[in-house]
Structure formats: C-alpha cells, structure tokens
Amino acid sequence: MSFSPSNAGLSASMSALAGTIGNQRAGSFAQLGTTFLTRLPAAPLPAPHVVGFSAETAALLGFDSSIAQDPTFAEFFSGNTTRDWPAQALPYATVYSGHQFGVWAGQLGDGRALGLGEVEHDGTRLELQLKGGGRTPYSRMGDGRAVLRSSIREYLCSEAMHHLGIPTTRALCVIGSDQPVRREEVETAAVVTRVAPSFVRFGHFEHFYSNDRVDALRSLADHVIERFYPALKEADDPYLALLGEAVRSTADLMVEWQAVGFCHGVMNTDNMSILGLTIDYGPFGFMDAFDANYICNHSDNQGRYAYRMQPQIAYWNLFCLAQGLLPLFGGRYEESVRGERAVQDAQRVLEGFKERFAPALERRMREKLGLETAQPGDDQLANSLFEIMHANRADFTLTFRHLARLSKRDASGDAPVRDLFLDRAAFDTWAAGYRTRLAHETRDDASRAIAMNRVNPKFVLRNHLAETAIRKAKEKDFSEVERLAAVLRRPFDEQPENEAYAALPPDWASSLEVSCSS
C-alpha cells in the first residue's frame, strides 16, 4: 500500500513512512478477513498535535526519530489521513468477546482501537494500532475516543514496563486535540499509537467458540501459531501446545507484575494477551504503600482484581481461554474418546500454571532479597517481609530498593529501609532473621547490592508522577511527559539528579483516585 502525498496531505517523509505500514501482507492479522474485522477510516480529529513521542519505539519500527517534528506527523497518527486510504486497505477494528468481572459479557471488540497494519523492520513484524481513533461497529454505547489523561498514562506506563523488563505493548506516540470528550467531566481527546507483535486477546478465541465458529477459531489459532510459535506445528497437538504457551507466558507475566507491585485493574479476559503481554492500560497502578488487598480500580467494588488476586485471576482467565480452544483439542484421538480426552489434556496443561508460577515467584523473591542460593525457609523470609510491609503500609518500591543497603554484619545500613516501618521493632526482628540468612551467602555486601539494584527498581510510574505530567499537559506543557518518560527508561539506575521521582508520594497523592473511565 502506498500513499500519495497529494491525496493524503502528507509530507514526502511522512508519506514514505506511511508506505512502510502494510495491512495486506500474507500472514498478517488483517488477512484473516471480514469474519475477524471491519475496515473503516478513523474519525476526524481536529487540529492534532504531538503530546509524547518515543524515539525508541520509533527505532523498533525503523522510523527516524526526527519524524515527530514533521508537521504532518500528528495528522497521520491522529488517523486523519485514513479517510483517503483505498477501501481494501482501510484500518480495521477486530471483533472479540470476553468475561468481564467474572461474567460472560458476549461480544465486545475494538470499540475505539483501529489497526493500521504492520511494519517489518530488522526481521520483526510489529502491528500498529490507534487507540481512541473513533467509533467502530464494536463501540456499543462508547464514543470511540480516549482522553488525554488516560492516553498519557498508557504511553508512560507501557514504556516504563518495557524498561522494567516486563512484556508489554509499546507506545509510539500520543496525539492530542482540543476536541472535547465527556467522561465524569469534560476532557479532551487523544490518540495513542500502540505497537505490539500482536493484539490478539483471550477474548478473540472466546468469541468464535461462543459463536460455534470452529473454522474461524482454527484460523485464528493457526495464525498465532504460524506467526509466533511455528515450532508448535510439530507438536502432538499444536492447539494444546498453544494453550501451554499462553499458560507459560501468562504465569511469567504474573511473576513480573507481583514482583514490582503492579496492579492492572481490569483483568477481564478481553484484556489478556495471547502472547502474555501487558495490554490495555486503564486504571492500573503501582503500589506506593504496600497493601496486599490493594485495589487500583475504584469501580472494582468486590476487589476481584486486587493485587493479591492477580495470579489467581490469570489462572481463571486461562480456563476461559482453554474452554474457547476446546473444540480444537484432541485431533489425534479417536472420535469416540476425543471430547473426554481433550478436557483431560486441557486440565493437565492448565495445571502447568501453578507449576510454573510458584517456583518462578520464589526465584524472583530470592533475587529481590539478594539471595544467590536456595535454602529452606526463604519462602517464609519473603512472606514475613510482605506481612510487615502490609501491616506498616511500607512503600513497596523503596522497601526493596533500600534493602540493598543492609549490611550482613550489623545494623549500620538499616536506617533507610527501617524508617519506612512505623513498627521499628517488627522490622528489627525481620532484619535479624535476614542477616542470619545472609550469613549463609558468600557474596559480599557490595556485590549483593549491585545484583539487588538490578531487580529492584528505584523508579516506577507512581500515580502522582503521572498526575503531575497530566496536569501540565492539560495546560499544553508536554515537557514533563517526556522528562518522566526519560526517568522511567532507566528504572534501575541511581539517577541522583532525579531523586525527587523516587521519593514517597506527597500528601495530595493520597486523595488521587484512578477511575475506570478512560
């Protein structure tokens, strides 16, 4: 597909960039056809301007970092030029279904996301999607828009998560506009360009299962296998093996989230990536004060998606995925026993979640505590730390970060972490146990600290940091968005010049509520 600058109103360099995005390549999601998606242009966005731009994500796509300065960049990534695209190459909204808050919700779909197509660069193919690009056939009661506030949060967090080493969709840019959008109050519209190898969700499979479209279900599974797990084609049961990959990648993702105190907020099955990526940033939050029952989404009255629930919910969601894939399982069995065997196989594969998650979390906790060897009781040591953190509402990020300063020998390095606990005696008791345990380690304090600082970030996207950047952006000052993004790209570095970004939240932050509306 190519765009002529005259009809699309793009500069020569933007036109060249647009020409690298294709949505008709063999093997691409878009090629699955009309059963899976509806093609339509984006809704016009008046006077679009660049709010944020990730040069890093641009580089992944082979885009030059200077492109954001192009006067037609915002025009293109607002979706405004898509009205000139030929019908067969228009952007597309995909159909999916899902379980929301544990209840079957029926058909959902991309209500405000439009796939532009994919870019192949350095041997990898990445899909681009405009989130907030306007109404689609799947918008239901929604307006198809996203607001500036939530778009900045998604942009900052997806880039931050990537640099924490956590699988996630990425963000190329945020494009803003003065177009009003009504939420709890009137805000303004924005479009985030998200980038990922695939945006396929558990809910895509559930959709075709619930509609009894086994042919479409198989095409979708074949697409994911072909693109991401081609080796599975040789497995006894490729579709069961695909479930196994989802179990593995989702379990690994839960380890990552739990280890940094990240709460997703809306772990509905339509917000779960088949590749185990963090996807759909809405009312997410990194915990400041540790509370195992922390709920970041104030619409989640039951606490279904509370911090401590996330791994269990992921497991529950995998059951939904397994059910969606069920008609594809058991191809190698005789017809008469196929159904029964397929269920048994699926149950066995799902069991793999626990086998993968628990030991991986234990390993990660040992790393976070700076323990090189595995000893009986390490589990208990980690759990009792979480218990006193919970009881004292100790800051999640700083507790682990400051722990690296503890000395093996004496309490000389305790103060920074100890001061996070109101109940100093409880901390001292725990620290004594920790020191006893450290005595069994050969590594010296300095090298232990270096290793710990590589797994315990100093900088995470605390709510109040995002809020500060958003408040300035609403005043048309986007400098804080980029400054914060730059800090979050080096979460494990000391960055003494950015100490303020690592500090405990200010008093005003405690009144911040993150709503589900985005």
Find out whether 132 and 112 touch, Cβ atoms under 8 Å.
yes
- Per CB under 5 A, 110 contacts Mg ion: no
Q: Using H for helix, E for strand and C for coil, what is the string for 92-109?
A: EEECCEEEECCEEEEECC
Smallest gap from Cβ 158 to ligand AMP, in A, equals 14
DSSP 43-112: PP-SS-EEEEE-HHHHHHTT--GGGGGSTTHHHHHTTGGGGGS-GGG--EEE--EEEETTEEEEE---SS
**Among residues 141 and 439, whose Cβ is nearest to ligand AMP?**
141
**Among residues 194 and 402, whose Cβ is nearest to ligand AMP?**
194
Is 98 marked as binding a ligand?
no
**Among residues 99 and 401, whose Cβ is nearest to ligand AMP?**
99
**Among residues 118 and 280, whose Cβ is nearest to Mg ion?**
280
Extract the tokens encoding 249.
């990648």
Choose among 247, 214, 249: nearest CA to 327: 214
Measured between its terminal Cα atoms, the distance across the chain in Å is: 32
Contacts of 502 (CB under 8 A, 6+ apart): 397, 398, 401, 458, 459, 495
**Partner in contact with 237, chosen from ligand AMP, Mg ion, none, beta carbon below 5 to 8 Å by kind:** none
- Per CB under 5 A, 28 contacts Mg ion: no
Smallest gap from Cβ 46 to ligand AMP, in A, equals 18
**Partner in contact with 491, chosen from ligand AMP, Mg ion, none, beta carbon below 5 to 8 Å by kind:** none
Which of these is catalytic: 237, 270, 300, 414? 270
Smallest gap from Cβ 271 to Mg ion, in A, equals 4
- Round to whole Å and give the CA distance between 6 and 171: 28
Is 111 marked as binding a ligand?
yes
**Partner in contact with 154, chosen from Mg ion, ligand AMP, none, beta carbon below 5 to 8 Å by kind:** none
State the residue number with the nearest CB to Mg ion.
Answer: 280
The verdict on whether 270 is a catalytic residue reads yes
Is 330 marked as binding a ligand?
no
- Round to whole Å and give the CA distance between 292 and 422: 17
Choose among 356, 345, 199, 340: nearest CA to 279: 199
Is 182 marked as binding a ligand?
no
Contacts of 380 (CB under 8 A, 6+ apart): none
**Partner in contact with 109, chosen from Mg ion, ligand AMP, none, beta carbon below 5 to 8 Å by kind:** ligand AMP
Taking CB under 5 A as the criterion, the residue among 177, 271, 273, 456 binding Mg ion is: 271
**Among residues 119 and 267, whose Cβ is nearest to Mg ion?**
267
Binding-site size for Mg ion (CB under 5 A) equals 2
The three-point CA angle 418-289-495 to 5° equals 70
Is 280 marked as binding a ligand?
yes
Is 194 marked as binding a ligand?
yes
Q: What Cα–Cα distance (Å) separates residue 445 from each residue in 366, 407, 408, 442, 449? A: 15, 6, 7, 10, 6
Q: What Cα–Cα distance (Å) separates residue 52 from each residue in 144, 154, 155, 278? A: 21, 11, 8, 20
Whose structure tokens read 């242009």? 41
Taking CB under 5 A as the criterion, the residue among 127, 237, 256, 280 binding Mg ion is: 280
- Round to whole Å and give the CA distance between 486 and 481: 9
- Per CB under 5 A, 206 contacts Mg ion: no
- Per CB under 5 A, 15 contacts Mg ion: no
Find out whether 451 and 371 touch, Cβ atoms under 8 Å.
no
Smallest gap from Cβ 112 to ligand AMP, in A, equals 4
Is 201 marked as binding a ligand?
yes
Choose among 178, 175, 181: nearest CA to 193: 175
**Partner in contact with 108, chosen from Mg ion, ligand AMP, none, beta carbon below 5 to 8 Å by kind:** ligand AMP
- Residues in contact with ligand AMP by CB under 6 A are 108-112, 138-139, 142-145, 266, 268, 271, 280, 282
Smallest gap from Cβ 96 to Mg ion, in A, equals 9
Is 364 marked as binding a ligand?
no
Q: Cα-flanking dihedrals φ and ψ of residue 432, to 5°?
A: -65, -45
**Partner in contact with 143, chosen from Mg ion, ligand AMP, none, beta carbon below 5 to 8 Å by kind:** ligand AMP
| Interacting residues toward Mg ion by CB under 5 A | 271, 280
Residue ranges of the binding site for ATP: 109, 111-112, 131, 143-144, 194, 201, 280
Residue ranges of the binding site for Mg(2+): 271, 280
Residue ranges of the binding site: 109, 111-112, 131, 143-144, 194, 201, 271, 280
Catalytic residues, which ones?
270
